[in-house]
Amino acid sequence: MRGRTGELQVKRSKEEVIRVGESRDGWLPPAGGKNDVLTSSSTRSAICSFFVAITFFIFTGAPRGQDQKQPEKVGNEICMSCHDMEPVFSRTAHAKQECENCHGPGSAHVEAGGDLSLSFKVKPAKLATSQCLSCHLQKLKPQTWDTAAFDRTAHARGGISCVSCHQIHPQRPNFGLMRSEERELCTSCHASTRSEFLKPYHHPVMEGAVKCTDCHTPHGEDTRPHRRLVVATEEACVSCHSDKKGPFVFEHAAIKINGCETCHQPHGSVNAKLLRRSEVHQLCLECHSRTQGVTGAQPPAFHDLRTARFRNCTICHREIHGSNASPIFFR
């Protein structure tokens, strides 16, 4: 045996010398005759053909020249022979549709003995949602216009589909085909929000007096994530707190710029009136200070914060949400 750097020469017979590449561990293929597997041209051709066929099968799903049989519809009677529906399903709008209008042709599913190929539980969320929207986008009403924007929402981007929240084949009567009670359904994902509803001061969601969808719209996303707007650019808050709606001659800039959440925590707080700070002056001085670039003016010099009355700004500035009489929100 005789070799150079990067290659070796293997003398297999007096008439034949084959040059092969050197491997990292020094292994060399065993010498053989004219029928050697690695040196036979017919074998190499067969191996190449095999890998070409495998590559084609991976990218096309079927061997070349062989057509796949497309699944066909089998009808509701075949579906119902295996799948038992709860009596409440017959009273829903979906019961008027054929099963295969939503799930697709079922002949392959039947031939396979009932696999999961037609179940939305194993399909990508976007595919399940697009199937639902194929009907629900065509029957939109003015109050449900936001359904068309679902693909742009945080729910859709997070892999949430229609069937994550809605039960298409309900087992009991439920408004909106919800899988469970609304507050339980929402807080099953939004666990941190559930903890906020347990704080001393909170909106009565867990008590059932307020629903999540009173303030949020799960099917659309506007200026803020899933915030339900009343009209134009107004906050959802004023649908209940109508006395804060305005318009006012003198607007509070903080509300117009950042909204109610500038001062309040909407889900729950340890402070009265859902305020973000325990004392009112701490909240006001976040804007009304010497800090450059803030919108509020600095309090006058006689406002001695060491005195209790000056630490409760709303004793004097009572109309803090807006006023029609005083630019500094006096009564």
- Looking at mean pLDDT, say which of 26-30, 244-248, 274-278 comes out highest: 274-278
The residues, ordered by sequence, that sit 6+ positions from 123 with a Cβ below 8 Å of its Cβ are: none
pLDDT in tens, 135-149: 887 655 544 445 556
Three-class SS of residue 135?
helix
**Beta-bridge partners for 322:** 251
Give this prediction's pTM. 0.65
295 Cβ neighbours under 8 A, 6+ residues apart: 253, 254, 257, 287
Residue 9 and residue 17 in contact, taking contact as beta carbons nearer than 8 Å: yes
- Average pLDDT rounded to a whole number, residues 178-197: 92
Using one digit for the tens of pLDDT, what is the confidence trace for 29-64? 454 444 444 445 666 666 766 666 666 555 555 444
Tell me the per-residue pLDDT of 257-314, one tens digit each, with 9 for 90 and over. Answer: 888 888 999 999 999 999 999 999 899 988 887 766 556 677 888 888 888 888 889 9
**What tokens appear for 254 in the block?**
């903080």
Helices then strands, each counted (H, E), the chain: 11, 7
Separation of alpha carbons 286 and 279, rounded Å: 12
Q: Give me the amino acid identity at 92.
A: T
| Tokens linked to 150 | 């679902």
- Give the chain's length: 331
Distances (CA, A) of 320 to 234, 243, 270: 18, 12, 21
Count the neighbouring beta carbons within 10 Å of the beta carbon of residue 235. Answer: 21
Provide the 3-class DSSP secondary structure of residue 30: coil
